Amino acid sequence: MGVAVYVPLLAALLLGATADPISRVLPPATATRALTAAAVVLSAATSFVLGVLAFTLLGRLRPVAELGRWSVASLSALDPVPQGVAGLACAAVLVLGARGLRVGLRRCRATLAVRALCLRLGGEPGQLVILDDDADDVYALPGARGRIVASRSLLAALPAAERRAVLAHEAAHLRHHHHRYRAATELAVAVNPLLRSVVPAVRFATERWADEEAALTTGDRAVVAHALARVGVRRHSPPDPSGGWRTLALDVTDSGTVARVQALLAPPARRRPAALLPLAILVAITVSASVEAQRDAEHLFEQARPAPPVSAVAVASSST
């Protein structure tokens, strides 16, 4: 088997190393979509090639070989992948599969907790719910029937324009379903830890996206910057170790507040479609390498099959 099978792993390493700068260079909505899509494709591709590598070892087990009708001896003789590598791939498939399952289940549980909380809070989807808490806090509870939640003290402390900016920011989170991008990248990273840095990068990009929407609503980028700074200083949200609804809440200031304030005070970023090119090339190379790896594997197992008797070939060809 050629080197194609290792290319997706390399690509994932590369995306992991560049996700953070990408999230800062591209316009936030583009960065969010591109990073999420790339992470999903790359994690699918790495899962696939890990599966292929693992199968070169599994294929040597007698029951599997009998089922596939290839010879264990000739498969071992062709020796496509070092046994150690194939063994590692087997272990990785098991561990990463379990991780993906765990992250997915945790996500489902948190989603149910958010839904229950929304019901308890009352009101309509997208509506602001004001809590009489002492702690200053504001966040969006995601989902089609999500809510915006804010403490009375924080709202009362903000000037009207900044309050508007904060509400517009949270409404943008809900309107553009930012939690879906976060869920997709979290799952992708669960099955491919090489992509780890994509999660904070997408988190940052979605926050910037909501900031820019708020700037459009208020018509003043500086107002959004001031609101962010003020909320960042005042906000106090208790951590939620239980993995409940809080893990899904979209907070105003939970990612890179300083960088976001700077971005808002700078002139708006120009669109640079060319910056997408490296990412597109990376994804294209990964996909074609995965296809190549699949062909390689098919060829390998084909070779390991004993040649069919001539009569069988004659029957097969005459019947077509």
List of residues contacting another protein (CB under 8 A): 122-124, 126-128, 130-132, 148, 150, 152-153, 155-156, 160-161, 163-164, 167-168, 171, 175, 217
Q: What's the min distance (Å) between Cβ of 241 and another protein?
A: 26
Assess contact for 36 and 184: CB atoms under 8 A: yes
- Compare residues 120 and 270 and give the one whose CB is closer to another protein: 120
Residues 6+ apart with CB under 8 A from 26: 34, 205, 272, 275, 276
Closer to another protein by Cβ: residue 1 or 148 = 148
78 or 131: CB nearest another protein: 131
Task: Please name the amino acid found at residue 75.
Answer: L
Partners of 150 in beta bridges: 130, 138
Least CB distance to another protein at residue 213 (A): 11
- Longest CA–CA span in the chain (Å) reads 88
Minimum CB separation of residue 169 from another protein in Å reads 11
Given the complex with another protein, which of 28 and 146 has the nearer CB atom?
146
Quick one: 127 or 237, whose CB is closer to another protein? 127
Query: Which residue number, 42 or 165, has a Cβ lying nearer to another protein?
Result: 165
CA dihedral of residues 110, 116, 122, 123 (deg, nearest 10)? 50
- State the minimum distance, in angstroms, from the CB of residue 131 to another protein: 8
User: Considering beta carbons, is residue 24 or 175 the nearer one to another protein?
Assistant: 175
CB of 116 to another protein, least distance (A): 15
Smallest distance, Å, CB 128 to another protein?
Answer: 4
Scan for tokens 């990612």, then name that residue.
255
Whole-number minimum distance, CB 149 to another protein, in Å? 11
